[in-house]
Each structure stands twice: as C-alpha cells, then as structure tokens.
Chains A and B, each alone.
Chain A
Amino acid sequence: QLQLQESGPGLVKPSETLSLTCIVSGGSISSSGYYWGWIRQPPGKGLEWIGSFSYSDSSHYSPSLKSRVTISVDTSKSQFSLKVSSVTAADTAVYYCARQPPRKLQAAAGFDYWGQGTLVTVSS
C-alpha cells in the first residue's frame, strides 16, 4: 500500500525559505507518468494546489506561486521536496503531498494518495 509522509520544520520566520520533504513508501517515485504534488490549506480555508512534478515528464507550478516555489526529487531516498522562498504569514498552512496517476494530459488526474499533512506556521 502506497504511503506518503511529510516532514519538516513547523515554524519558519518571515522572509525565509520553507522546506518540506515527502517520503514515499510502498511504490516507486520514478514510475513513468505519475505526478507527485504539493497542496496546502490555510487554517479554516480551502485547498490550494502548489505544484506537481513527474520523474519522466515536466514539472508544473501554480501561476500564483511559481516565482517562489521549487519542487525537486531524490529518487535514491524515494522522496521529493518543496521549497517556498520569501515566506509571509499568508504561507501559514497545512501542507500535503499527494500522487496523481498517469493521464493523457500531464498532471490532469485527481490526487489518489495523500500524506497526513504537516502544519507550517510563518511567524517571527
């Protein structure tokens, strides 16, 4: 059974870089066509897609966050990472990692497996 687990600091100072890692177990992160994404949810608010990447295809980022976001992968450790630079209080949220199965259009599928989420607070 595929499992995803987020990890990283729960507190980040304003203007610094938020860094999170998602460890994937029970499946291969390099499987062709699969996308691995990050989604966040500010306290009491809705879901916001951050970006998705595929080992075999290109990466895609939310237009509103693209200038501050990087998603990278370490296949040797079966994990992928998220970096958000120049954070503000508006970046305070629960961050989820999740998987998208292959589709004809890149990153078009729904997210079928999710991590439990990790709360990141931006505060000095």
Chain B
Amino acid sequence: QSALTQPASVSGSPGQSITISCTGTRSDVGGYNYVSWYQQHPGKAPKLMIYDVTSRPSGVSNRFSGSKSGNTASLTISGLQAEDEADYYCSSYTSSSPVVFGGGTKLTVL
C-alpha cells in the first residue's frame, strides 16, 4: 500500500516551534488512533518519540507532542534545539496491513 505523505523537509531556528504533517486516509491515520512518530539521526536506529497519536514514551522531552485531525497526524516540536536536527518518520496502523510508514521528513535547525 502507499506510504503516508510527509513533507520532504522542514526547517526552523533555535527556540521556534515546527510542525511535521503526516497525511493518510480513513483506512489508516483517519480510522485508528495508532499513529507513531520516530526520530532518526544519521547512522542511528530510529527512536520512538510519540505513540498512539499523542503519548510520549518515558524519557522523551515534553517539547515533542502529537495530534491528529481527520486523516492528518502532526508532530510538533517546540523550543527547537540543535539536537533535534534529524529525520522524522510517522507510521500508522492500516485496515489492510498493521504498519505503514511515511516517506520521512528532514528537519534542519537553522
């Protein structure tokens, strides 16, 4: 099935807030509250940042938050820091397959 749609890149200055979108359909993002977000630094394994749309794993900064409206989920990072520069991926449960990933978004901290 098609990957979820994410912007290829976003950027922001230190201290600012940015939002990354993840657009799917009623068969995935819009139909289930099982959206996750991952952060991946170069050469490293992905790290779970948000699960079940809005929940944060223990140890993840509260600067990271998740939300959903209709078929689009969003990851917001507030108080942007240099260490946030990374690739971010969303994933969702789907009616035809348990897991589908988004294409990924490169976050640049200016």
Can you name the residue of chain A whose Cβ is closest to the Cβ of B89? Answer: A47
Cβ B97 vs Cβ A60 within 8 A: yes
Per-residue interface assignment for chain A, residues 77 to 108, with 1 indicating a CB less than 8 Å from any chain B CB and 0 otherwise: 00000000000000000001000000101111
Can you name the residue of chain B whose Cβ is closest to the Cβ of A114? Answer: B45
Of the candidates B34, B46, B57, B98, which one forms a contact with A114 in the assembled complex, judged by CB atoms under 8 Å apart? B46
Cβ A105 vs Cβ B48 within 8 A: no
Interface size on A (CB < 8 Å)?
24
* Nearest chain B CB to A4 CB, angstrom units: 9
Number of A-B contacts (CB under 8 A): 72
Q: Which residues of chain B have C-beta atoms less than 8 A from A111's C-beta?
A: 36, 38, 46, 48
Q: Does A46 contact B (CB under 8 A)?
A: yes
* Nearest chain A CB to B3 CB, angstrom units: 7
Cβ A108 vs Cβ B32 within 8 A: yes
Q: Does A26 contact B (CB under 8 A)?
A: no
Q: Does B100 contact A (CB under 8 A)?
A: yes
Cα distance, A102 to B98, chains bound together (Å): 13
Q: Does A74 contact B (CB under 8 A)?
A: no
Q: Which residues of chain A have C-beta atoms less than 8 A from B89's C-beta?
A: 46-47
Interface residues of A (CB under 8 A from B): 37, 39, 46-49, 52, 60, 62-63, 96, 103, 105-112, 114-117
